[in-house]
Structure 1
Amino acid sequence: MKKFKKKEYIICHLLTVGHISSFEAISKYRHTRLSTVIYELRTAGAAIRTVDEPHVGGTHARYHVIDKQTVLNTLTPKMLINVDTLMTAVNDPEY
């Protein structure tokens, strides 16, 4: 079985759901450095905005994809193949 990087799971989540918070990244993918992934994607040209969501005790950030194509344009060919494989698995119940 192929092993994917946590960053690829985060990117797949962003592309399929459209948004993610740090709590979701930690609980679903055990990824504790979501802000680093978002920073790297933005630096490479991805259109992602931050929305502060209030909760008891303060706020937390939720990252929303503005344009999915800009996210795809930031990926290396190998990462693009891996993300495409993950997207296929997400969208195909028999995968």
Structure 2
Amino acid sequence: MSKFRKKEYIIAHLLVVGHISSFEAISKYRHTRLSTVIHELRHAGAAIRTVDEPHVGGSHARYHVIDPSTVRNALSPKMLINVDTLMSAANDPDY
């Protein structure tokens, strides 16, 4: 089995949960370049919306998937297989 890339974990999270923030990307997946992943997905045609969430001391962005099919269509065939595998594992309590 091949090693999954951090980007694939981020995309699987987006498709399973529907949204993600930089804090979640860092704390759950140790991925510090979430905005780059979002930019690349949008450039490939993914429909993702940015919502600013205020908090004490400022605000941060949360990225919401508008249409999951556009995210899936933005992926290469190999990446789609890996993301589908991660999504299956996320939904399998025995995994």
| 1:29 equivalent in structure 2 | 29
Task: State the Cα distance separating 1:2 from its structure 2 match.
Answer: 3.2
Q: Secondary structure at the match of 1:87?
A: helix
2-structure distance, mates of 1:56, 1:2 = 41
Equivalent residue pairs, number? 95
> With structure 2 as the length reference, what TM-score do the two structures score?
0.97
Q: Secondary structure at the match of 1:52?
A: strand
- Please tell me the root mean square deviation across aligned C-alpha atoms, in Å: 0.7
Structure 2: runs of 5+ lacking an equivalent:
none
| 2:56 equivalent in structure 1 | 56
Structure 1: runs of 5+ lacking an equivalent:
none
> With structure 1 as the length reference, what TM-score do the two structures score?
0.97
Q: Secondary structure at the match of 1:45?
A: coil
1-structure distance, mates of 2:2, 2:86 = 10
Deviations 1:8-42 (A, max 9, x none): 00000000000000000000000000000000000
